[in-house]
Amino acid sequence: MTSGFPHRCAWLTSRSAIDRDGVRIAYESLVPHEPRPGSPVVILLAALATSGRLYSQSAGSIAAAGYRVIVVDGRGCGRSATPPWPWTTSTCAADVIAVLDQERVARAHMSGASLGGMVAQEIAIRYPERVGALCLSATTGGMPRIDCYDTGGTSAAIGRYLYALAGRPSRQDAIRQTASLWLTEEFAARLKEGGDAWQVLASLRAERSSRWALLAQIGALLRHSSWRQLPAIQAPTLILHGTVDRMISPRAAAALARRIRRRELRLLPGVGHAIGLQVPELAVELGLAFVRRHDHLLSETVDGCGAPPRARPPA
C-alpha cells in the first residue's frame, strides 16, 4: 500500500494495531517534511470494499500541508485481518480507537467517505473526547431512511461486488463498472487507463476484499443507524456531497445537516459518489480549510501513562 502514496512526506510507515477482540487493523502513517507545532493528526477512513489506497491521491497533499496522516484499512480490507462476522460500524469505530491508542494520539480530526463516514459518525458519538473536527463525505445516517439511498445505484453496486466475487470480470471491465457507479457518467466516460483515478481503482481492484469480508461490510452498512444519536455529536462537522451521487442521495446530506448542530454543508455540483476521485484537489482544499479552523481542538496531549480512557464502548 505504501507505493500508492505520493512522496510528499518525510516518513511513511506501515503499522498495525490489535483491537480489543484481537483483530489486527493495518494502517499507514504519513509524517510531513515540515511538521506543524503539536503535529495535528488527520484520520482517513475508506468506503465499502476499499482500503486506504482510496486516499492515494490526497493523503500526500494533506501531509504536505503539515498534518500527520493516518490512513486506516478497515477490518476485512487491504492488509487488515478478516475476523468472524458479522460486525458493525460501532465495531469498526473501536478499531480506529485502537489505532489512536497504538499511536498515542489523544485526539484527531476524522474524515470518512461513504461507509467510512458511517464509522466516523460512530466515533464522534461514542468517543467524543477523541475527535477534533469531523468530515463526512458522501455518507448517510443509515437505516431506516431508505430515501437517503439511491436504491438503484446502491443495489447495482452491491450486485457488482457480489458478481466480482462469484465471477471473473476482466480487470478493465471491473474498473469501468466501478467507475460507472462511483463517478458521473461524463467523468467515467473520459476515464483513461493509466490516469490518476484509473490507477486508484486498479489498485483497489488488486486487493479486493474476500467474499466473507465483503458480506460482513455490507451487513455493517445495512445495520448502521445513527439518526437518533446525531444530535449528540459535539465535533464541528463538514458535510460534503456530490449533487449527482448515484449511490447515496444528496437528501442524506441535507438530513445529516438537520441533525448535527455544529455543521457546514457543501453540495458539489456535477460530482458523483467518489468525491476524492473525481475532484481530489477540491476535496483536499475544502477539508484542509475546515480542519485548520479547528486545530485548537487537538491541543490535548497524551502523557507518559498512555492514551486517555475510552468512552462508551460499542454495544
Q: Give the Å distances, CA to CA, from 290 to 58, 133, 295.
A: 15, 8, 9
* Mean pLDDT within 38-59: 90
- For residues 205, 206, 211 and 214, what is the CA-based torsion angle, rounded to 10 degrees? -50
- How many angstroms separate the CA atoms of 102 and 152, rounded? 40
What dihedral angle (degrees, nearest 10) is formed by the CA atoms of 276, 281, 196, 148? 20
Please report the pLDDT score of residue 173 as a whole number.
73
- Whole-structure pTM value: 0.87
DSSP state of 158: H
State the pLDDT at residue 307.
45
H helices within the chain, ranges in order?
Answer: 59-64, 89-102, 115-126, 151-166, 171-182, 185-190, 196-206, 211-223, 250-259, 275-278, 280-292
- pLDDT band at residue 294 using 50, 70 and 90 as cut-offs: very high
Q: Which is higher by pLDDT, 302 or 162? A: 162
Position 314 scores a pLDDT of 43
pLDDT reported for residue 169: 56
Task: Report the alpha-carbon distance of residue 273 to residue 248 in Å, rounded.
Answer: 7
Question: What value does the mean pLDDT take over residues 12-16?
Answer: 82
Q: Residue 204: its pLDDT value, please?
A: 81
CA distances to 45, 46, 136, 173, 242 from 113, rounded to whole Å, are 7, 6, 6, 24, 12
Indicate the CATH number for domain 2-298. Answer: 3.40.50.1820
Look at 145 and 159; give whichever has higher pLDDT: 145
pLDDT digit string (tens) for 49-102? Answer: 888 889 988 999 999 999 999 999 999 898 999 888 789 999 999 999 999 999
Per the structure block, which three cell numbers stand in for 114?
461513504
Is the Cβ–Cβ distance between 57 and 196 less than 8 Å?
Answer: yes
Position with higher pLDDT, 164 vs 304? 164
pLDDT, position 106: 95
CB contact at 8 A, 137 and 242:
no
Which whole number is the average pLDDT over 32-37? Answer: 70
For the chain, the average pLDDT equals: 85
Distance CA 40, CA 167 (A): 44
Q: Residue 263 in contact with residue 257, Cβ under 8 Å?
A: yes
Q: At what angle do helices 115-126 and 211-223 cross, to 10 degrees?
A: 60
Torsion of CA 175, 185, 110, 64, to 10 degrees: 80
Mean pLDDT, range 213-218, rounded to an integer: 86
Compute the average pLDDT of residues 214-222. Answer: 89
Cell readout for 1 is 500500500
β-sheet bridge partners, residue 113: 137
Distances (CA, A) of 90 to 57, 152, 189, 220: 28, 27, 37, 9
Work out whether the CA dihedral 114, 261, 111, 265 comes out positive or negative.
positive
Q: What is the pLDDT of residue 191?
A: 85
Mean pLDDT, rounded, for 294-305: 66
Which of 101, 45, 38 is CA-nearest to residue 66? 38
Better-scored residue on pLDDT, 44 or 82 = 44
pLDDT score at 154:
57
Judged by average pLDDT, the poorest of 43-52, 194-203, 288-297 is 194-203
pLDDT tens for 173-188 read 778 878 888 888 888 8
The answer to which of 36-45, 129-138, 302-311 has the lowest mean pLDDT is 302-311
Question: Residue 131 pLDDT > 90, yes or no?
Answer: yes
pLDDT band, very low/low/confident/very high, at 208 (cuts 50, 70, 90): low
Helix (H/G/I), strand (E/B), else coil: 113:
strand
- Residue 149's pLDDT band (cuts 50, 70, 90): confident
What are phi and psi for residue 170, nearest 5 degrees? -65, 160
Residue linked to cell 458480506: 215
Q: Nearest Cα to 273, choosing from 161, 134, 114?
A: 114
Is the bond preceding residue 86 a cis peptide, omega within 30 degrees?
yes
